[in-house]
Chain A
Amino acid sequence: AQRVTQPEKLLSVFKGAPVELKCNYSYSGSPELFWYVQYSRQRLQLLLRHISRESIKGFTADLNKGETSFHLKKPFAQEEDSAMYYCALTSGGYQKVTFGTGTKLQVIP
């Protein structure tokens, strides 16, 4: 069974401080990992995916297969980063997405 764990329900950081949202997963095969974000009063949307190795809005995430982690990082938090962040996993292709429980990021001005 595939599982995604986000240990922090709430993460508060000051503006300009580094951010790391933790995500660990369990899956026996080769998963595809994603980060989704939901800003206040907006729909859930894709932030980034590991396969693209991209940086979106200053966020990056590296898949560490040894530690089965996919932590989301940003060197300098901005107020507009405040949102709910969900780590997600799929087994590839058109398969269901398994979500973590989400972490609320609160950036303090």
Chain B
Amino acid sequence: SAVISQKPSRDICQRGTSLTIQCQVDSQVTMMFWYRQQPGQSLTLIATANQGSEATYESGFVIDKFPISRPNLTFSTLTVSNMSPEDSSIYLCSVEEAGGVPEAFFGQGTRLTVV
């Protein structure tokens, strides 16, 4: 099973600033996903990041607000730009591993508080 390291685990940021979240996987994976979990709500997919191509964003999420990098098959970053208190959430990195039935693995999440 894939082991995902995500950092920082938490941060408190000033509004108007940006935060970059890193996701490191211990194996090469084709697809990486970034989710957001707002307080009291379920996980919502922000974007899918494939190595060598631009990320694909879900409805309601744009690249200017959530730029994503995917420089290789084991690493990705998500930046939350120009933050406001509404961006306070848990952000999770996820990967799917090859196999008979794809299984999603998750990082431990980044708890972001914007003040």
Contact = CB atoms under 8 A, between A and B. Distances in A.
Contacts of A34: 104
B52 interface: no
Contacts of A43: 106-109
B31, B45, B106, most chain A CB atoms within 10 A: B106
A33 B43 CA distance: 16
A93, A97, A101, A102, most chain B CB atoms within 10 A: A97
B42 A101 contact: yes
> Interface residue tally of chain B, by bracket?
20 to 34
Q: Is the interface of B mostly helix, strand, loop or mixed?
A: strand
A20 interface: no
A17 interface: no
A44 B96 contact: no
Contact of B45 (A36, A49, A97, A101): A97
Nearest to A92: B102
Contacts of A100: 42
B31 A94 contact: yes
Given A43-B107, A43-B108, A51 B45 contact: no
B48 A49 contact: no
B66 interface: no
A100 to B, nearest CB: 6
Contact of B41 (A42, A46, A101): A101
B30, B94, B101, most chain A CB atoms within 10 A: B101
B45 A102 contact: no
A32 interface: yes
A96 B104 CA distance: 9
Interface of B: 30-31, 33, 41-43, 45, 48, 58, 92, 94, 96, 101-109
Given A43-B106, A94-B31, A101-B41, 12 more contacts: A32-B101, A34-B104, A43-B108, A44-B109, A51-B101, A94-B30, A94-B102, A96-B45, A97-B43, A97-B45, A99-B42, A101-B42
